[in-house]
Structure 1
Amino acid sequence: MDKETFDKLYHTTRQSMSENINLRRDLSVVKSENNDLSRQLLQYRETGSENLKLTQENKLLHDKVKKMEEQIKFLRKQTDIWKEKAKEFMPTAIYKETVSLISTINPVGLAKTAIRQVKKMVDNNS
C-alpha cells in the first residue's frame, strides 16, 4: 500500500472514530434528557392521581357534612317539638330545670361545632 492511500485511510478512520465518539456523547446526553422527561412524566401522573383521590375524598367529606347538617336540623326540630309538648304537660319548675339541664349538655351544639370544624378543614383543603 502506498503512503498516499495509507494517509487517506488513516485520516478517514480517524475522522470516523472522532465522529463516533461525538455521536456516543450526543446519544448519552439524549438518553439522560429522556430519563429526566420520563421521571417528570411519572411525577406528573402521580400528582394527577393524588389530586383525583383528594378530590374524591373531599367530595365524600362534603357529603358527610351535608348529612350531618340535615341531622342537626332534624334534631333541632325534634327538640323544638319536645319543648312545646313538654311545656304543656310538665309543671313550669320541672320544665325550666329540664330545659336548663338539656341546654348545658347541648349535644346539638357539640355536633354543630364538630361540623363547623370539619367543614372549615374541608374548605381549607379544597
Structure 2
Amino acid sequence: MMQFNGLKVKQSLIAISIAMGALVFPAQSKPDTQSFAFELGRQSGTFYCRGISLESAIEKGTMGAALAMDLPMSQLDSMDLSSDQAGMALIEGLLDTAIDNCPQRAKTIFREFAALGN
C-alpha cells in the first residue's frame, strides 16, 4: 500500500489552490502608458466635443480613462505621461475622436494646446 508524505500533499494542495485562485482572480496588470494616454485622449475628445474647454476636457478625460481602464488612483499617480510616446498617443486619441464627432471644433485644438502652454 502506498503511503503519502503529508508535507508533499499539503504543499501540492496549496500550490493547486494558488493556481486556481490566479485563474479565478487574475492579477490586474498595469496598462501600458501609451494605451492609457490614447484612452485619455479619446475620453478628453468626447468631453471636448460637448463644448468643454480643452483643459477641463483633459481633466475629465483623465478620470474617464482611469474608470474605463479600471485603473486605481495609485497607479494613475505613478504613470509618467510626459514622454513623447504618451503625448502622441493622447493627441492621436483626442484628434481621432474630435475629428469624427465635432470636426469644426477639432480645428481649434492646436490653438487651445498652445494657449495651455502659456
With the shorter chain as reference, the TM-score category is: 0.3 to 0.5
Q: Which has the higher contact order (CA 8 A, sep 6+)?
A: 1
Which has the higher Rg, Structure 1 or Structure 2? 1
TM-score normalized by structure 1?
Answer: 0.32
TM-score normalized by structure 2?
Answer: 0.34
Higher helix share: 1
